[in-house]
Amino acid sequence: MGDLRKSILEAAEVLFSREPIESMNLERLANRTGLGKRTLYRIFGPRKAFLQAYAEWLCDRERARWHEAAQRCGEEPVETMIELFIDIAVVLASDDHPPGPIQVLAIPSTDEKHALRLSRNNLVREFRALLLRLAVAANATDAEALAESLTTLWLGATSGFQSGGDSIRVAQHLPSLVDHIIKSYVPG
């Protein structure tokens, strides 16, 4: 069941990568996967439950990327912060990168308790907390300000672009911009 669930979520990512997540309907997803709507309903429940599962899956993958970046850098906090943004730059520079969770979960709903909005807000808080821990470990002169600056940059870099040229331009400058921001807060 786990592989089937993952395959369905991956199909949803392809299907809904170019349109708002709120436009998702189980019938289109069933057609894409070759499964019946009943099968999707049995695995995920109603549309709202599917959307929540999709949001959690996107956020879990993003957290896994953070963990991988940290593993590559060992315990070096400055290198880990830079590596997190190098990973983003690599994705942005790819020809046809799918939107990340920040972009996908940015829904127009004004309902602050909407499940997708809550998932996005939780992911932002978790990323900021990770950056704050790294900033403290790096002995930043103002760890809060460094974490907030990098979180703001992350939100901008992962919120989507009008053209591939824009994302490539951001990808080219993102690592050096992050390095500059970090150096303004971390001595020596």
* Domain-located, residue 10: no
- Taking the C-alpha atoms of residue 143 and residue 135, their distance in angstroms, rounded to an integer, is 5
| CATH number of the domain to which 114 belongs | 1.10.357
Question: Which of the four pLDDT bands, split at 50, 70 and 90, describes residue 98?
Answer: low
Who contacts 32 (Cβ-Cβ below 8 Å, separation ≥6)?
11, 12, 14, 15
* Domain-located, residue 11: no
* Domain-located, residue 84: yes
* Domain-located, residue 79: yes
**pLDDT for 109:** 61
Higher pLDDT, 124 or 25: 124
Question: Which of the four pLDDT bands, split at 50, 70 and 90, describes residue 120?
Answer: confident
Instruction: State pTM to two decimals.
Output: 0.85
Higher pLDDT, 91 or 33: 33
Q: What is the pLDDT of residues 22-53, one digit of tens each?
A: 777 888 889 889 999 999 999 999 988 998 89
Residue 162 pLDDT greater than 70, yes or no: no
User: CA torsion angle for 8, 52, 90, 20 (degrees, to 10)?
Assistant: 90
* Domain-located, residue 33: no
* Domain-located, residue 175: yes
Question: Which of the four pLDDT bands, split at 50, 70 and 90, describes residue 77?
Answer: very high
**pLDDT for 108:** 63
Q: What is the pLDDT of residues 130-159, one digit of tens each?
A: 999 999 999 999 999 999 999 999 988 877
**pLDDT for 82:** 94
The domain total for the chain is 1
Question: Which of the four pLDDT bands, split at 50, 70 and 90, describes residue 20?
Answer: confident
* Domain-located, residue 100: yes
112 is in which domain, residue-wise?
A: 52-185
- Taking the C-alpha atoms of residue 77 and residue 70, their distance in angstroms, rounded to an integer, is 8
Within 13 Å of residue 33, how many CA atoms lie on the same side as its CB?
24
* Domain-located, residue 30: no
Residue 107 pLDDT greater than 90, yes or no: no
